[in-house]
């Protein structure tokens, strides 16, 4: 059932999903696989950000090493740091955080790295090639602009920025620059999502007629806040410093923190940006002083008539997270990493018979058939997009891509466009919910 796509996968793409270069042998294998995948994809026009990996094979030689710094070493910054420390050809030379417990914890992990509490001082450090920015959203633009002004290559965590104006300012500052800019949308480097795109362009699900994405959790989305701690300034309290994503001065809540990933995938797969969007948001469960919505529902309109439907809530996790790409011939689920044929080959007779006895009705619902037949979700297993499952969601590869692009000394094509499209899309969603009206793509925005 639903096995029509088996035996069709690119072995290089599939093998890359088992990354984890812990030993020297694994590291050599990692470099080999990366170079092979970067050179083998038939989709390069739609993956221009893979080109640095093609142009210059990943090098692990000490003379080619790039020297990087990380700004903001909280939850995500620590994860990026752990990945950087395993990335061939990278030296983590500097760490910056203005919250002492986080800076101290990070410095303890990296021998020889210099610590800073002020990012501007870190940017003045001689010999530093680039920085990774993993600070709260409202600081992304300031840090990117400072880093560009200091002549550094920049990796900025998603979502691009806090406002549409700031997205524009980052794109403008980078236009014409010879420096690398990379955004932290790791699905752009995920073998599963690459394979999904490959199958879509191969016509396996037909034209994309709808994308439905959701991110559901069950929890208050809070970090624990100690009763006392270091001076939280410039934040007014430790609560705001540690739970910045719950307050509108610093964050746009579920849109920038979660939806940005799936909006990036939707825009990328549709090869377009939304024309407009409408939606509703509210705080209907976590009434604990937070300012950002705890559930959001939006519809994005694209100019070929396709819609992207997005919802997110943090009071029920039964459906988890998914991005479902649907067409008349099939469905792809990016997070589960599966493809489902719309009309899978029939199961062998005996399996069908058991199924019909168990369910009390036939699987196929005829057009205009009896109204009592429930048109329930199809219970087909589908096929995995890549052979090996992996804990890496593209972050490890994206670190290697950043380092290699710096080594190649050229901006990464297509990167700012992806960052802007996703970043602006989620801010349109935020504005639509706040203003309770349909919001159009900002006229004159230059990606």
H helices present in 99-179, as ranges: 100-107, 119-123, 140-149, 164-174
Q: Are 382 and 137 in contact (CB under 8 A)?
A: no
Containing 200, the helix (H) or strand (E) segment is helix 191-201
| Smallest separation, CB 190 to ligand NAD (Å) | 11
Residue 291 is encoded by which pair of tokens? 């300012």
Binding segment for ligand NAD (CB under 6 A), chosen from 60-68, 94-102, 317-325, 363-371, is 94-102
Q: How far apart are CA 259 and CA 263, in angstroms?
A: 6
Task: Please give the residues from 133 up to 152 whose contact with ligand NAD meets the rule CB under 6 A.
Answer: 134-137, 139
| Smallest separation, CB 439 to ligand NAD (Å) | 21
Region of 262 on the Ramachandran plot (φ > 0 left; ψ -120 to 50 alpha; else beta): alpha
Binding segment for ligand NAD (CB under 6 A), chosen from 37-45, 70-78, 163-171, 372-380, is 70-78
Residue 203 is encoded by which pair of tokens? 């016509």
Residue 129 is encoded by which pair of tokens? 């090639």
Q: Does 394 bind ligand NAD (CB under 6 A)?
A: no
Residue 405 is encoded by which pair of tokens? 């692009």
Tell me the residue number closest to ligand NAD, measured at CB.
Answer: 74
Binding segment for ligand NAD (CB under 6 A), chosen from 47-55, 90-98, 312-320, 411-419, is 90-98
Q: Does 401 bind ligand NAD (CB under 6 A)?
A: no
Q: Does 21 bind ligand NAD (CB under 6 A)?
A: no
Task: Please give the residues from 229 up to 248 whose contact with ligand NAD meets the rule CB under 6 A.
Answer: 244
Using CA atoms, how far residue 54 sits from 20, 104, 239, 416, in Å, is: 21, 38, 45, 19
Q: Does 74 bind ligand NAD (CB under 6 A)?
A: yes
Decide whether 256 or 306 has the Cβ nearer to ligand NAD. Answer: 256
Q: Does 98 bind ligand NAD (CB under 6 A)?
A: yes
Q: Phi and psi for 147 in degrees, rounded to 5? A: -70, -40
Q: How far apart are CA 356 and CA 234, in angstroms?
A: 64
| Smallest separation, CB 135 to ligand NAD (Å) | 4
One of 76, 109, 114, 201 touching ligand NAD (CB under 6 A): 76
Provide the β-strand partners of residue 339: 332, 383
Interface residues with ligand NAD (CB under 6 A) are: 71-77, 96-99, 102, 119, 134-137, 139, 157-158, 184, 186, 244, 257
């Amino acid at each position: 059932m639903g096995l029509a796509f088996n035996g069709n996968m690119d072995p290089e793409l599939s093998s890359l999903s088992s990354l984890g270069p812990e030993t020297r042998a694994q590291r050599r294998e990692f470099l080999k696989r990366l170079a092979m995948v970067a050179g083998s994809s038939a989709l390069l026009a739609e993956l221009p950000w893979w080109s640095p990996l093609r142009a210059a094979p990943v090098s692990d030689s000490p003379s080619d090493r790039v020297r990087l710094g990380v700004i903001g070493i909280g939850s995500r910054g620590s994860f990026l740091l752990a990945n950087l420390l395993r990335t061939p050809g990278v030296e983590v030379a500097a760490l910056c955080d203005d919250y002492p417990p986080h800076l101290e914890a990070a410095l303890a992990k990296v021998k020889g790295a210099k610590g800073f509490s002020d990012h501007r001082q870190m940017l003045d450090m001689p010999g530093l090639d680039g920085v990774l920015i993993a600070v709260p959203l409202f600081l992304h633009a300031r840090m990117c602009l400072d880093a560009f002004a200091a002549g550094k290559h920049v990796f900025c965590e998603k979502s691009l920025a806090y406002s549409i104006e700031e997205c524009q300012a980052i794109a403008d500052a980078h236009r014409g620059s010879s420096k690398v800019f990379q955004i932290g949308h790791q699905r752009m480097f995920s073998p599963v999502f690459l394979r999904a795109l490959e199958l879509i362009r191969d016509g396996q699900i037909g034209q994309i007629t709808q994308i439905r994405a959701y991110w559901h959790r069950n929890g208050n989305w809070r970090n624990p806040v100690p009763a006392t701690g270091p001076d939280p300034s410039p934040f007014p309290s430790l609560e705001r410093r540690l739970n910045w994503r719950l307050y509108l001065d610093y964050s746009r809540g579920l849109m920038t923190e979660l939806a940005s990933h799936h909006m990036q995938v939707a825009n990328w797969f549709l090869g377009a940006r939304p024309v407009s969007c409408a939606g509703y948001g509210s705080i209907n469960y976590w009434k604990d002083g937070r300012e950002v919505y705890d559930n959001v529902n939006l519809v994005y309109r694209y100019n070929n008539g396709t819609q992207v439907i997005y919802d997110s809530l943090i009071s029920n996790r039964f459906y988890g997270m998914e991005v479902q790409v649907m067409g008349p011939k099939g469905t792809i689920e990016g997070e589960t990493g599966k493809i489902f044929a719309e009309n899978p080959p029939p199961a062998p007779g005996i399996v069908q018979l058991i199924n019909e006895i168990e369910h009390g009705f036939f699987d196929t619902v005829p057009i205009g058939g009896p109204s009592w037949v429930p048109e329930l979700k199809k219970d087909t297993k589908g096929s995995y997009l890549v052979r090996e499952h992996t804990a890496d969601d593209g972050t490890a590869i994206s670190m290697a891509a950043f380092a290699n692009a710096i080594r190649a000394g050229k901006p990464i094509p297509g990167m700012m466009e992806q960052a802007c499209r996703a970043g602006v899309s989620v801010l349109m969603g935020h504005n639509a919910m706040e203003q309770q009206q349909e919001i159009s793509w900002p006229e004159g925005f230059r990606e």
